[in-house]
């Protein structure tokens, strides 16, 4: 399994791994990578079936995605990480933290859920149908943008939204559909109680896909976790409210008065 990645930052700094949402790529984290650059070694990667990573035959499972990441970390000689995941990436983080607690020093779970439940099946089935019969069409992409960003952000920040649109447009529809099938059956609820690392749960106040109620469920299931609801943001809160999220992320990862790690 070939995994595309960027590894940037001071060589001896703590490693922060970032896993993106369904249909996106590692470039979703550009603003976060820039914010962390002087203090952390940032590892961003394309999940299987996405970006420049390999597109093996589907369907995929979240467990396969975790195995891919563990293989990447091993190949790079990385044995401990701070994990940040959005949506699908959050599922990977929850599964990794419960399966390999010695690897995950801390966990940031953004706009995600351990289980979408049967009520989400019609939405998943429609996405699979479109991807497999028509490819990554405008309709599929626009429905995604309507969930990811508020109308105001889409109007004000057209460049930022167009960048995300382009990620979806260039996603291999086979990889997209295979990853949708993984999310359709994932159920990590029983494993959340085993997570003991410091955890920050983040959700956009207006997220219709992985709602604040779902985020509160994660928060209540992971002992000692913190919950941040970002006002006025939808599903892709890390882009829509990047400044708010980045401040919270930096404060969570290290106290504000901690000096930068030397290169």
pLDDT at 259: 52
The pairing of beta strand 15-19 with beta strand 5-8:
unpaired
* Tokens standing for residue 206: 């207006």
C-alpha 98/C-alpha 195 separation (Å) is 5
- pLDDT value, residue 255: 55
Q: Which structural domain, as residue segments, surrounds residue 169?
A: 5-253
Tell me what pLDDT residue 252 has: 97
Total of domains in the chain: 1
Residue 76 inside a domain? The answer is yes
Closest CA to 23 of 150, 134, 141, 181: 141
pLDDT for 249 equals 98
Residue 260's pLDDT is: 54
pTM for this prediction: 0.96
Residue 258 located in a structural domain: no
**Beta-strand (E) ranges in the chain?**
5-8, 15-19, 41-45, 81-86, 104-110, 199-204, 226-230
Whether 33 maps to a domain, the answer reads yes
Residue 123 lies in a domain: yes
Under 8 Å between Cβ of 104 and 83:
yes
Place of tokens 């703590």: 14
Residues in the chain: 263
Note whether residue 147 is domain-resident: yes
The reported pLDDT for the residue numbered 175 is 98
pLDDT score recorded for residue 258: 47
- Distance set, CA 118 to CA 121, 124, 183, 187, 191 (Å): 5, 10, 11, 11, 19
- State the DSSP code for 260: P
pLDDT, tens digit, for every residue of 50-98? 999 999 999 999 999 999 999 999 999 999 999 999 999 999 999 999 9
Low-confidence ranges of the chain (pLDDT < 50): 257-258, 263
**Domain assignment of residue 263, yes or no:** no
For residues 154-182, one letter each, b for 16 or more C-beta atoms within 10 angstroms of the residue's C-beta and e for the rest, the string is beeeeebbeebbebbeebbbbbbbbbbbb
Cα 237 to Cα 192: distance, rounded to the nearest angstrom = 23
To 10 degrees, what angle do helices 173-185 and 121-134 make?
Answer: 170
Closest CA to 130 of 214, 23, 211, 227: 23
CATH code where residue 186 lies? 3.40.50.1820
For 196-218, give the DSSP string.
Answer: -S-EEEEEETT-SSS-HHHHHHH
- Which two three-digit tokens encode residue 137? 């069409």
For residues 45 and 26, give the distance between their C-alpha atoms in angstroms, rounded to a whole number. Answer: 5
In a domain, 106, yes or no: yes
DSSP state of 49: T
Residue 221, in any domain of the structure: yes
Asked if 220 contacts 192 with a C-beta cutoff of 8 angstroms, the reply is no
């Amino acid at each position: 399994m070939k995994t595309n990645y960027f590894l940037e930052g001071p060589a001896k700094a703590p490693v922060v791994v970032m896993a993106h949402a369904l249909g996106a790529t590692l470039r979703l984290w550009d603003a976060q990578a820039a914010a962390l650059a002087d203090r952390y070694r940032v590892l961003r990667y394309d999940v299987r079936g996405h970006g420049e990573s390999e597109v093996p035959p589907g369907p995929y499972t979240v467990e396969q995605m975790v195995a891919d990441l563990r293989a990447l970390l091993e190949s790079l000689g990385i044995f401990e990480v701070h994990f940040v995941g959005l949506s699908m990436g959050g599922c990977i983080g929850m599964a990794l933290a419960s399966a390999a607690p010695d690897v995950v020093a801390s966990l940031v779970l953004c706009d995600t859920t351990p289980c979408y439940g049967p009520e989400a099946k019609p939405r998943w089935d429609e996405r699979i149908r479109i991807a497999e019969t028509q490819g990554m069409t405008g309709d599929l992409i626009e429905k995604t943008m309507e969930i990811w960003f508020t109308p105001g952000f889409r109007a004000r920040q057209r460049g930022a939204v167009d960048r995300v649109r382009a990620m979806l447009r260039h996603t291999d529809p086979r990889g997209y559909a295979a990853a949708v099938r993984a999310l359709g059956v994932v159920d990590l609820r029983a494993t959340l109680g085993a997570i003991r690392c410091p955890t920050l749960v983040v959700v956009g106040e207006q997220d219709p896909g992985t709602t604040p109620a779902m985020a509160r469920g994660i928060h209540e299931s992971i002992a000692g976790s913190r919950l941040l609801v970002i006002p006025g943001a939808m599903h892709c809160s890390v882009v829509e409210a990047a400044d708010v999220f980045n401040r919270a992320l930096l404060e969570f990862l290290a106290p504000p008065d901690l000096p930068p790690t030397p290169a």
